[in-house]
Amino acid sequence: MAVNLFYFLVFPGLLFAATIGAFLSWFDRKISARVQFRKGPPLLQPFYDFFKLLLVKETILPKHGSPLIFLLAPVLSVFGATAAGVFILLPLFNITTGFRGDLLVIFYLLTIPSFSYIIGSLASGNPLAAVGGSREMKLILSYELTFLLFIAGIIMKCGQEFNLYNIIQTQQDGSPFIGSISGVLLFIVGIFCIQAKLALVPFDMAEAEAEITEGIFIEYSGAAYALIKLAKYIMLFILPAFLVALLMNGFKLEGINILWAVLKVLVVVLILTLIRNTNPRIKIKQAVNFFLIWMNLLAVIALILIAFGY
């Protein structure tokens, strides 16, 4: 019991994932600044932001809305992100527990943060938040099928194996999945799905700063917004780690391999950041077209290639 709580709250759960995620968030902001020829924020900036929101600022409840659900939604999002993080990171760090890393459980848990953002935004009673919530719903509808096809591709490639632990073992015994044509196609599909799940720039229409002023998060302030930031930090770590586990042969934790593990996550975050900095925000209709037609096509081609053994 105590061990399970330790897994959930300290390592590799809430505390560890949030700390690494905060550093990755700094990395993302620093790279964005360097791309724009700026200097960028200091290393501890995400921690200052988080503690300022948590400890200093006042939390305001909207007058027309449901305060309980409004405050419950950030807690749920942190819970969902942490639960998904534990189930991804336990097999990745090779810690054996009763749970062996079922991909479908992880798939469902990864959608909880997005859903709780929608619930919170609709409970706030703000028209701009409602617009953001409806956009987020359409975005989920468009990328979720693609993400499922991506996971199905991995499962087929590994020989009908649903187990994250066994998928990592298969890659470490043989070669990483990204070394084949279908692996590269799946990597492209996965990167764009993660981009949409993290709501980074080409797909950030739900929290568009310029048009609907942060959209789904417009009414959040103080500690509630700090929890949303925390969930975002955790997601920024676990989704790249999930991609590394599925395609790039996971982490090996001895000697020089630790450096490789860090580099792999950093490279995935770097690709996400570069996509975010070189693209404009697209309309929701374009996003739906992009995922439902082009990314699904790519995923289906990858599935056919896997069936023929490439």
Q: Which residues bind other proteins (CB under 8 A)?
A: 29, 33, 36-42, 44-45, 47-49, 51-52, 55-60, 209-210, 213-214, 217-222, 225
Phi and psi torsions of 254, nearest 5°: -140, 140
Dihedral (Cα; 233, 235, 238, 240), 10-degree rounding = -100
55 versus 104: smaller Cβ distance to other proteins = 55
CB of 266 to other proteins, least distance (A): 21
208 versus 298: smaller Cβ distance to other proteins = 208
CB of 178 to other proteins, least distance (A): 34
- For the chain, the distance separating the N- and C-terminal CA atoms, rounded to the nearest angstrom, is 45
CB of 170 to other proteins, least distance (A): 44
CB of 73 to other proteins, least distance (A): 15
Beta carbons of 292 and 145 less than 8 angstroms apart = yes
52 versus 285: smaller Cβ distance to other proteins = 52
147 versus 217: smaller Cβ distance to other proteins = 217
> Closest by alpha carbon to 136, among 33, 66, 190, 217?
217
- Write out the two tokens for 275: 């996509």
37 versus 308: smaller Cβ distance to other proteins = 37
CB of 226 to other proteins, least distance (A): 11
Beta carbons of 97 and 193 less than 8 angstroms apart = no
Q: How many CB atoms lie within 10 A of CB 254?
A: 6
> Closest by alpha carbon to 46, among 27, 63, 64?
27
